Amino acid sequence: MMSGNALPSTRRLVGAALLSVLMSAAMASDDGHGAPKAGAHGEKKTGKHAAVETELAVLLRRYSTANLTALKEKVCLITPKCATDEGRLLDAMESSRLILQRMADMAEAGDAEAAFQRGRLSFELADKQSERAQVDATAEYPDMGKALRRRWAQETFDGQHFLAIAAAQGHPPGCLMLAERLAARVPRTEPELIAHLFRCAVTGFLDQKDRANAVDAFAKMRKTIGPREPLLLEAHSLIFRQTPPERPWRRVEPAEALAERKKVAP
């Protein structure tokens, strides 16, 4: 995985400013739990046709198909005696590009689920560029490594941008993925923002009655930030006690419990 220092300094500052502004807006409109607003997940009413795919679902399916086609054509190009048409490869790559652009337009228009999916795909592409750079970039082909690092930086920037759009609307998966990505930076920056993003994920999942994902988000939060972070204590309280605890981490020993019971015994 490439270091976060590889990002151009200007983009890093712009990205940090963007994330701070978006999260400030999210917290300002928060009703106490960071729950997503109605329609924040890109859901569309379909009336009688409840089984009809949303536009986003169609785009994701077509993107997967285009990528699979491109992969098959690339393999065929390097396989002896494999008849292929480079036109099919170029068509598939162009289809993927147009789909990503459409998802980006939907995200910029305020579709939180589209923003999350677009950010997720950007980070997938960034990871692929990072892996390729480790394999293909050699002293013999220095320009290849530079090109792959530039693409990695651009995809990483785009991923943070679109996930921030989703997180600003209280989208739990978007908050969680962005928190994990920011926490993975070396060196790690913006610890307060990371804590707020984890809190957004935990409380958002709880508001959706999705306790399993809420607990998973809390476990990742606990591994990432300090044990005395107030937002971590709040998240623990909401998941395990439902009310803010006075001593959230303190275990009551049996002897102490017996002594407490004797105090109130008749």
pTM over 0.95: no
CA angle 183, 24, 45 (to 5 degrees): 95
* Angle (deg, nearest 10), helices 191-207 and 230-240: 10
- Which amino acid would we find at residue 265? A
What digits encode the pLDDT tens for the residues 154-187? 999 999 999 999 999 999 999 999 999 999 988 8
CA atoms within 13 A on the CB side of 234: 15
pLDDT of residue 239: 82
pLDDT score at 16: 47
Instruction: Please indicate whether residue 215 or residue 41 has the higher confidence score (pLDDT).
Output: 215
Q: In angstroms, rounded to a whole number, what is the distance separating the alpha carbons of residues 52 and 59?
A: 13
Angle at 214 between CA 100 and CA 114, to 5 degrees: 15
Write out the two tokens for 70.
């491109």
Q: Which residue has the higher pLDDT, 32 or 72?
A: 72
> How far, in Å, CA of 105 to CA of 98, rounded?
11
Closest CA to 167 of 101, 108, 116, 224: 116
Note the pLDDT tens digit of each residue in 178-235: 999 999 988 877 888 999 999 999 999 999 999 899 999 999 999 998 888 888 888 8
